[in-house]
Amino acid sequence: MEEEDIYTKDGTTDFRNNPAIKTKTGTWKACPYILGNECCERLAYYGINTNLVNYLKNQLNQSNVVAINNVTNWSGTCYVMPLIGAFLADAYLGRYWTIATFSTIYVIGMTVLTMSASIHGLKPICHENNVCHPTKLQTAVFFLGLYLIALGTGGIKPCVSSFGADQFDDSDEAEKKKKSSFFNWFYLSINIGALIAASVLVWIQTNVGWGWGFGIPAVAMAIAVVSFFSGTRLYRNQRPGGSPLTRICQVLVASIRKFRVQVPANESLLYETADEESSVKGSRKLDHTKQLSFFDKAAVETPLDRVKSSINPWRLCSVTQVEELKSIIRLLPVWATGIVFSAVYSQMGTLFVLQGNTMDLHLTKSFQIPSASLSLFDTISVIFWVPIYDRLIVPLASKFTGHKNGFTQLQRIAIGLVISIFAMLAAGSLELFRLDLVRKHNYYQVKNIPMSIFWQVPQYLIIGCAEVFTFIGQLEFFYDQAPDAMKSLCSALSLTTAALGNYLSSLLVKIVSDVSSRHGSHGWIPDNLNYGHLHYFFWLLAVLSFINLGFYLLVARCYTYKRPLNNN
């Protein structure tokens, strides 16, 4: 093997900051530690998220609407915070140290949350009739722990998937082919953690106690940290490239300053560093594209751009720097279409649970299944479909599409958007059938009507199938289309669709509750759902999903995939 073939060509380094050696670092041998970290961290997250609406209702004595909005607001915050972690990772710390730092914050948050549910004086006092009256201090401590966890996710979520993908060299065709499979198995590890959370942890929270129910996820998070550090010697690390926001602003300012400058027809006349390496630390050079040509003005060199032979970065930017901004702009329309899908997905932790609370929870005569545990069928669906997709659908679809991965990333996302519509139609139809039973037998004051909760299984299974196509497709798409020095930022950008989806769900719940409960009516989502019209809300989401699908198809049709990187 020639000396230049010993090292990776994508600029990655080992834990000593030396060029990464192919045979000793990265690929699948480094991935088990990353996948183990993600599995345990997701077990911890879903151990809180899955049953949180019931904790807020029963332990903090909140109404349906308030509890739903608190869950979606917190969940949304968990998906906004990655913007902070991604910025720090890409600009200064690198993905490895960002994950390590924010994992510590995460463990502290889990510890505070466990204390709020187990230590006398911090946990709410409940009377014999199961009505709890938390003090302001108890509520404050609980939410402190909750939002420390949200902050902790900010450094982990945008970096772990990108860090795992960093273990495969894009410049090596053999390794590049394995990267697509990594995202499938990465998402599978998420759902193994979610499966344990939705089954074992929810049962413990409901039947043993919230102290144990929060304590076990705290231990899982500690195990996640240990797993991550165990693979340190095997990891490949991308160097941080400096502030991506500064580089974006420089292109914007330089373009505006030169709005009257003519862009030369010959693209080779645009400014680019003569060095083999890009001017952006940690990034390979990007080929010029003709789209969004206004920003090319920033790369047109004029006599005013040099001061004493040095380049003024606020007047002249390299082609690579300009293409970074173009890449981000091209991603935004695709990013926007993920918001409605995330709003649909968020129903599993809120309205699906509340709907299940009104049904017969008995698995056997002596054993009841917690309504939040039904989300395990979503997880089972994902665990079923990931290997099916990777091993059967991809090879089969490749024969018809000619694409090595079966579908393009945008096609994969579109399939999931279509499937998600049927999930809302199934949930709405079930609620309509449930309310018909309530009216026929006058079950309005019955807490659990004689209708098995397992009628909810189809809507969970359908959402799980949609996830495999849309969420995994988004993970791969945003990583693949991101510039080298903005991988974490673009992964965080994809995660913010989940945040905005949760916020959209909160907004819709508030609007329909306020509007539908006017004039003394119960509204769509009252505390007693037997008097409500929850199916209207599910059908509203189905209509929004259909409109969103139409917009997505227009966006996808106009999208141009990132051109191959120029390694010269």
- In whole angstroms, how far apart are CA 47 and each of 40, 314, 531, 563? 10, 48, 31, 41
**CA-to-CA distance for 355 and 60, rounded, in angstroms?**
20
Whole-model pTM: value is 0.77
Structure tokens at 248: 């974006």
Closest CA to 165 of 487, 413, 485, 493: 487
Burial of 197 per CB tally in 10 Å (0-12, 13-18, 19+):
buried
213, 205 contact by CB (below 8 A)? yes
Sketch the domain layout of the chain as residue ranges. Answer: 3-240+337-558, 244-325
Work out the number of other CB atoms within 10 angstroms of the CB of residue 130.
Answer: 8
**Residue 21: CA count within 13 A, CB half-sphere:** 9
Q: Domain 3-240+337-558 falls in which CATH fold? A: Growth Hormone; Chain: A; (1.20.1250)
Q: Please give the backbone phi and psi of residue 21, each rounded to the nearest 5 degrees, phi first.
A: -90, 130
pLDDT at 285: 79
Residue 282: what pLDDT?
A: 61
DSSP state letter for 25: S
Q: How many helices (H) and strands (E) are present in the chain, helices listed first?
A: 19, 2
- How high is the mean pLDDT in each 10-residue block of the chain (568 residues)? 66 85 86 89 88 86 83 85 87 89 92 90 78 86 93 88 85 76 84 84 87 91 89 89 84 91 84 71 76 88 74 85 88 92 88 89 83 85 88 85 80 94 94 92 88 93 93 86 81 84 87 79 81 90 95 90 54
pLDDT given at position 568: 40
pLDDT in tens, 494-503: 888 888 888 8
Q: What distance in Å separates the CA atoms of residue 239 and residue 12, rounded to the nearest whole number?
A: 7
SS3 of 19, please? strand
Say if CB 28 and CB 349 are below 8 A apart: no
What local confidence, expressed as pLDDT, does residue 566 receive? 47
Q: How far apart are CA 516 and CA 511, in angstroms?
A: 8
Contact 415, 407 (CB under 8 A): yes
Could you read off the pLDDT of 365-381 as tens digits, one per residue? 888 888 888 888 988 89
Rounded distance between C-alpha atoms, residue 494 and residue 498, angstroms: 8
One-character DSSP codes across 534-547: HHHHHHHHHHHHHH
